[in-house]
Amino acid sequence: MGQTQAGSGQEVSLQNIQDLYRKFADECPSGDLHLHEFRRIFGVNSSSSEEELAYVETVFRSFDVNKDGKIDFMEYVAAVNLVLRGKLEDKLKWSFKVYDRDGNGSLNRQEVRLVVKIINKIRKLDDPSRVQENIDVICDRIFELVDKNKDSQISLEEFMEGAEKDPWVMDQLKLDIRPSDWFLKRL
């Protein structure tokens, strides 16, 4: 109440929170958002590729702060705020967390390649005329531009610095999860 949302300059009123809670309760009568509901929100179903399913599970886990296998209302509000109103720095930190599948604090080529592949595939679905780019070439260029100490690992600091300095790197690394109509209509 009365707190400014990051990057938006708008205040969250008690009415906004009550409306968000009502909508959350309507969609999640159990009081928690489960993985299968999360998949539906983001338009991922059982016919989706293995990579897309793994990606959505990783995003889900990144929002499940207390790691109990479900997203409660407070975690949901934090996720909504990050996705729709978060500062670039916070979105980049979150993107890094999603990329870092093993949670070791650095990204290897396999982790970067997987997410770049999924992002590229999603972009192709959004715009069928878009040319499918060579994933290995993208990963090589990302590591060339971002991995400053050339240890074949990208730290959070290297990730943030690389994304902020180079628009192409930013385009390749920043996750733009484009919530489905369900998510946007209910906010």
Residue ranges of domains in the chain, CATH in brackets: 14-185 (1.10.238.10)
Overall pTM surpassing 0.75 (yes/no): no
What's the maximum distance between 2 C-alpha atoms anywhere in the chain?
A: 51
Residues 6+ apart with CB under 8 A from 178: 122, 126
30-88 residue pLDDT tens: 999 999 888 887 667 777 777 778 778 888 988 999 999 999 999 988 887 787 777 88
Q: Decide if 51 contacts 118 (C-beta within 8 A).
A: yes
Contact 112, 164 (CB under 8 A): no
Q: What are phi and psi of 11, to 5 degrees?
A: -95, 150
